[in-house]
Chains A and B, each alone.
Chain A
């Protein structure tokens, strides 16, 4: 919403940290709660596959209940910007706009 006209150019991917419980049905329900637009997609999978993704992004935790809040952002390049902990919508939106402006 804060992204305004930039929104259609964004892709948002959310990965479940509880793949044994979060099946497609749970994710659909979750997405519906936010009226998620089509470019916001939700993923779950085999626990091993989800773990592999989390390890690759240094986003793994040994205990589900102690997981980190983590947002990763990039444009087309290789480098990701990490946001750990709680961030408000305005901060994230301006970071996203800035990144898009830089990548032209």
Chain B
């Protein structure tokens, strides 16, 4: 009996995937494909198309390597050098000197017509004109069936524009949950309004004067779109957000979510983005959802701080902890998460260490007689401008932001812009800077995409350029890379007092 079950299982495994799925499997995993690059065998994971050409097929390059676009609108069309794309590659993309050399020598070719051309490219490394492809393109030992499956996959890759992009508008949305204080929400909304209206005013000016620019800007007039950010105000308890998100999405699907403020658990929203394959860029939340392909965060949030503290306690052999203060919902969530890491709680008089969850006078007074190590959460205890209260004692703050007081010229520039536009809300500097950063990244990515409205390409572009965007200095450094989803990775202790 057991034997028969095993046999049935084996047969199920041996059944070939339907052609459509097999194409995706080859592209995304390289499963069952043999490849060599300059005659050395390549592991399947590196041989998978996605590894260089990326999920979008537009192939954002890195370092010396510029990767050819193989999405359907490029591969199955004749390739002619495009001034607009080349200008982006030359002046707006960070490549090394060697890669720029390639940009100066663009190629043209006829369209790939189908399986025959694709087989020749994969097996012999030749383009449809019979010219050699880059030496970095592997040579594949691949069956006719697999070539057919992959060709089918490539014909669909990026073939139709993603939602949220039409003849006039590039539509985004920002989410605000009901627990966001009104003044903070307004501070973010003012930045969104100021940013998008400046973008759209400039566009209007360009459109009102055809042939307005003898230089490069005119190249892009046809591809540029109004920047629209819908505001999704969620209401009621988190269990009802799923339906509200779907209703908003149905009425006008955005290309991506940008910024927004979600103080509590972000997982309902991250799950929704993953389900829709919709990029969600830099929401303001302390509680990132589980890692996935679509959600990009500033930092690892409160969980990073809590784990730092738990690890430090373990390192020092501190076993018991007293939680002090913390009436706010965020403080309570922090305490819940910290407990889930398995710390043992004790009354303050018996505890090895204390964790300060709010800096009010009552909480601080409780620590007067305490001689043990005191920890605090930077996210809970620092205010919006990064300023810290006077703790009146030594405390170890788990800290994921830039060191307080680090001079930053970009911050001054941004303050100037906020002041000029009348959007400045002095008590909400962090909210405003983070909102601005999400919009700035998106506007650069829109420029970079030119007329290729692919959500996947947008995400890859964000991964690529986050490090190059003017950073208002809120975090030690903001940088992503292929597949990376947390931009500020550094965290440590900020020691206050003796």
Interface size classification for chain A: 20 to 34
Please, how many angstroms separate the alpha-carbon atoms of A90 and B234 in the complex? 60
Please, how many angstroms separate the alpha-carbon atoms of A69 and B64 in the complex? 6
A34 contact set on B, CB distance < 8 A: 43
A102: Cβ under 8 A from any B Cβ: no
Interface size classification for chain B: 20 to 34
B64 contact set on A, CB distance < 8 A: 68-69, 84-86
Do B63 and A66 touch across chains, with their CB atoms under 8 A apart?
yes
Given A33-B46, A84-B98, check contact A65 B63 (CB 8 Å): yes
Do A89 and B39 touch across chains, with their CB atoms under 8 A apart?
yes
Given A64-B479, A68-B64, check contact A20 B96 (CB 8 Å): no
Contact residue among B62, B136, B479 (Cβ-Cβ distance under 8 Å from A86) = B136
A98: Cβ under 8 A from any B Cβ: no
Show the binding face of B for A, using Cβ within 8 Å: 38-40, 43, 45-46, 62-65, 94-96, 98, 135-136, 464-465, 467-468, 477, 479, 481, 484, 489-490
Do B94 and A90 touch across chains, with their CB atoms under 8 A apart?
no
Do A89 and B38 touch across chains, with their CB atoms under 8 A apart?
yes
Do B94 and A66 touch across chains, with their CB atoms under 8 A apart?
yes
Q: Which 10 A-B pairs have the closest CB atoms?
A: A88-B38, A66-B94, A20-B489, A67-B63, A69-B64, A89-B40, A85-B98, A33-B43, A63-B94, A68-B96
Do A67 and B489 touch across chains, with their CB atoms under 8 A apart?
no
Please, how many angstroms separate the alpha-carbon atoms of A33 and B63 in the complex? 21
A1: Cβ under 8 A from any B Cβ: yes
A63 contact set on B, CB distance < 8 A: 94, 467-468
Name the distance in Å between A40's Cβ and chain B's nearest Cβ.
14
Do B135 and A67 touch across chains, with their CB atoms under 8 A apart?
no
Complex interface bits, A43-79 against B, C-beta within 8 A gives 1, otherwise 0: 0000100000000000001011111110000000000
Complex interface bits, A1-34 against B, C-beta within 8 A gives 1, otherwise 0: 1100000000000000010110000000000011
Please, how many angstroms separate the alpha-carbon atoms of A34 and B94 in the complex? 29
Do A69 and B63 touch across chains, with their CB atoms under 8 A apart?
yes
A20 contact set on B, CB distance < 8 A: 477, 479, 489-490
B468 contact set on A, CB distance < 8 A: 63, 65
Contact residue among A18, A21, A66, A89 (Cβ-Cβ distance under 8 Å from B95) = A66
**Max chain A CB contacts within 10 Å: which of B135, B465, B479?**
B479
Known A63-B94, A69-B64; further 19 A-B contacts with Cβ < 8 A: A20-B489, A20-B490, A21-B489, A61-B96, A64-B479, A64-B481, A65-B94, A65-B467, A65-B481, A66-B95, A67-B96, A84-B64, A84-B98, A86-B64, A86-B65, A89-B38, A89-B39, A90-B38, A90-B39
